[in-house]
Structure 1
Amino acid sequence: FKEDGDVIKGKDQLILVCGMRRIEVRPIYSEQKNNSDKFKLLRYLPARGTCIASMYAPAIWPPAPVLLLKRQKSGALTIVATGKSLGPNANRIVLKRIVLTGLPYKIHKRKATCRFMFHNPEDVRWFKPVELWTKEGRRGQI
């Protein structure tokens, strides 16, 4: 339903219409997969296909029909997406993937030292307990 190549970013202000309710929301979008309990964050609303919009809003019991509207600068409302509600789920996990890049400095057997991956101590402390992996599938920690 998007026109003129308009891109809808995550956390953009939209209007959710469900029955008689009109709620202003800022949804985040994630993939719709049934085989996992963790879902990958999408930065933009896909032009074609399906996704799930997660937001804080009053509980809407399924399968209620839902419209997402966007207010244009002229004040007119345009339909951005349609769908149905899935029901409230506070345990839904939406993961944001972060790609770290660095230059290999030293490589010795099973250990490697990378330079310029972090630029301040707060980033190092935050990523220290997180497991990292390479494109080839090798895993490691800081």
Structure 2
Amino acid sequence: MSKRSRSAAPAPGAIRPTVTVCRGCCCGTPKIPGIDHAAQLRELRTALADRATVRVTDCLDVCEQANVVVVQPSADGRRAGGRPVWLGLVNDQDATGDIAAWIEDGGPGLADPPDVLDLYSFSPSRRIRAELPDS
């Protein structure tokens, strides 16, 4: 079961997209060597400062996919049919830049993700999806 706090949940119909970055037991730790996890989070926060809410969670319970990032649509994106997109194995700087570029274009429901993000996309179980608010 996840150790996430429900208080970090985006408000229903959030104006901006929300990017949830897992930094629990496996994501963001030395278990994934050779990655500057702090720099990855800093890069997302800097690139998306005016475009999305970036939050950190303790664990999303999909450790085999570490590092995990979930991109939730804005209210407009949700109305356009966008749904949360789960990205796993986000372990290089280029992927972080591709996520930021996609959100700059509008994110889920409003813009197609760069093709390379298809390589990172996965579907967690219903139980895991249900733990992320608004998914």
Normalization by structure 1: what TM-score? 0.23
Normalization by structure 2: what TM-score? 0.24
Q: Which protein has the bigger strand share?
A: 1
Q: Which protein has the bigger helix share?
A: 2
Structure number with bigger Rg: 1
